[in-house]
Every structure is written in structure tokens, then in C-alpha cells.
């Protein structure tokens, strides 16, 4: 069989038989209470992606802020050395990336925080990406959820997030930076595991319907695994406080 025939045969195989399993990448370090100056905080290190999140509040809104409803502020930033895998990123690109990811994290958190319980109050969430080696958005959501739990903010569920990207004929869970550079599309999901309900779904790039469904299922499986890790961290912290 020629190389051309082999390539043609591979392209005809269903993508589900060519998925790359990166489950080990979902194992990592998670901590809460790392910033003693904040009401709640967390640190996540998955692979070489490292993120710290601090939460302040609920606290009274500024007098200039009108209305009695609660308010959520999300500040998303990269350190100057966070994206060392590409030195060609301009300052404008970095600022746009921060703004876009900040909006996505905020939308996700607003879908799960019981803001109706925080009248005339505001909650400030500061996400700082110390190092970005891929999947920074979903890991930032996870870090924010842990920090909000540490701060005692009421939520509908313990949300967890995960991403899957498509490269050629493979679907890769929790992609690293070099894989994100080569991606044809990427799907990020934030899941409420106990309700089996999607809090947020973001897709960048185009995917055929079948591959989109496969990507969603892979993300949901990854979310469940990450949720278990998050639950262990929160449970361990609760036990320490009770002693």
C-alpha cells in the first residue's frame, strides 16, 4: 500500500478512532487559601500552565454604583512572561486576549453565582495567568470557582471547565500551547456536574456536527475528572478548618 493510499484510508476513518487521550494532563496541583490578604484564593498548576486567583467580597458597592442588584467584576491578566512560547504577540493582541477571556470567565461565573443573594454588594475576581502553556481559559474558570468557594460565595454548583481542540484528524483534550497554535478548532465547556448542565460553551473555529458532539462529550468527561480533583481540595480544606 502506497503512502498516498494510507493517507487516504486514514482520512476516511472516523475521528473517534483517532482521538488522542491526554487524561494525564488533567492531573495537577490545586490549592486554596494561598493569598491570605484576599477573602478567597486559589492556585492551579496543570502541566506548565499556572494560574492564581484572588476573590474580594462580597463587599458594599461604591456610592457611584446605582441599583440594588449584586455586581461581579472579573479582572483577567497575563504576566509579562506568561506566554513565553510566542514572543511575537503584540501588546494589543495581549490586551485583547485578556479582555476577551475576562468577559468569558465573567459570563460563566454569572451563570452559577447566586447574585440575587448579594444585594447592593459586589464581588471582585482577579485572575492572573503566571504561565500559559495552553488551556488557560478553562483553567482560569476552575481557579475562579475554587477561589469563590474559598470565599464562601454561594453558587448553584461546583462548576468545572475543560477544553478540546482539533488538529488534523485528532481531538486533543487539554491542549498545550504548541497544539493550540496548530488547532483547526477548539471547544471549551464549563459544566455543572451534579446537574449535568452546561454553564458555558465556547467554540472557536469550525467543526462538523459529529465532531462537535464528540468534542463536547470529551470535554464533559474531562470536566467530571477535574470536578473530582476540585472536590477533594475543598473537602480537605474543610476538614482542616474543622480541626
- From 136, 121, 126, 35, select the one nearest 83 (Cα to Cα): 136
Type and span of the H or E element at 144: helix 136-150
DSSP for 27-69? --EEEE---TTSSEEEEEEETTEEEEEEEEEEEEPPTT--SSS
What local confidence, expressed as pLDDT, does residue 91 receive? 59
What local confidence, expressed as pLDDT, does residue 196 receive? 84
Yes or no: say if 65 and 156 are a contact pair by the CB < 8 Å rule.
no
DSSP for 163-196? EEEEETTEEEES--HHHHHH-SEEEEEEEEGGGT
Give CA separation, 67 vs 37, 64, 118, 120, in Å.
Answer: 28, 10, 12, 7
What local confidence, expressed as pLDDT, does residue 22 receive? 47
The gap from C-alpha 76 to its chain's centroid, in whole angstroms, comes to 12
What's the sign of the alpha-carbon dihedral 238, 155, 173, 43?
negative
Side-by-side strand order, sheet with 121-131:
29-32, 40-46, 49-60, 121-131, 71-78
What local confidence, expressed as pLDDT, does residue 21 receive? 44
- From 184, 181, 190, select the one nearest 222 (Cα to Cα): 190
The three-class DSSP label of residue 24 is: helix
Give CA separation, 204 vs 167, 185, 212, in Å.
Answer: 13, 5, 11
- Exposure b/e, 65-86, CB count within 10 A at least 16 = b: eeeeebbbebebebeeebbebe
Which residues of the chain have a pLDDT value below 70? Answer: 1-26, 62-68, 84-93
Cα–Cα distance for residue pair 161/145, rounded to 1 Å? 10
What local confidence, expressed as pLDDT, does residue 39 receive? 96
The length of the chain is 243
> What is the CB neighbour count within 10 angstroms for residue 157?
16
What local confidence, expressed as pLDDT, does residue 10 receive? 36
Amino acid at each position: 500500500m502506497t503512502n498516498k493510499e494510507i493517507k487516504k484510508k486514514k482520512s476516511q476513518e472516523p475521528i473517534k478512532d483517532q482521538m488522542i487521550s491526554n487524561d494525564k494532563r488533567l492531573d495537577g496541583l490545586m490549592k486554596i487559601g494561598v493569598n491570605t490578604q484576599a477573602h478567597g484564593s486559589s492556585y492551579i498548576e496543570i502541566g506548565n500552565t499556572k494560574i492564581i486567583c484572588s476573590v474580594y467580597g462580597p463587599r458594599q458597592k461604591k456610592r457611584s454604583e446605582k441599583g440594588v442588584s449584586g455586581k461581579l467584576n472579573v479582572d483577567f491578566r497575563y504576566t509579562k512572561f506568561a506566554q513565553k512560547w510566542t514572543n511575537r504577540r503584540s501588546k494589543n493582541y495581549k490586551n485583547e486576549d485578556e479582555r476577551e477571556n475576562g468577559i468569558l470567565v465573567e459570563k460563566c461565573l454569572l451563570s452559577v453565582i447566586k447574585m440575587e443573594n448579594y444585594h447592593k454588594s459586589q464581588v471582585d475576581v482577579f485572575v492572573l495567568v503566571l504561565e500559559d502553556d495552553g488551556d488557560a481559559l478553562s483553567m482560569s474558570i476552575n481557579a475562579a470557582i475554587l477561589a469563590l468557594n474559598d470565599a464562601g460565595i454561594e453558587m448553584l454548583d461546583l462548576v468545572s471547565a475543560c477544553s478540546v481542540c482539533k488538529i488534523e484528524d485528532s481531538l486533543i483534550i487539554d491542549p498545550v500551547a504548541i497544539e493550540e497554535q496548530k488547532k483547526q478548532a477548539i471547544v471549551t465547556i464549563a459544566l455543572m456536574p451534579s446537574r449535568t448542565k452546561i454553564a458555558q460553551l465556547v467554540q472557536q473555529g469550525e467543526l462538523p456536527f459529529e465532531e462537535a458532539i464528540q468534542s463536547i462529550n470529551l470535554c464533559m468527561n474531562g470536566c467530571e475528572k477535574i470536578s473530582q480533583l476540585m472536590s477533594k481540595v475543598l473537602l480537605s480544606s474543610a476538614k482542616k478548618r474543622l480541626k
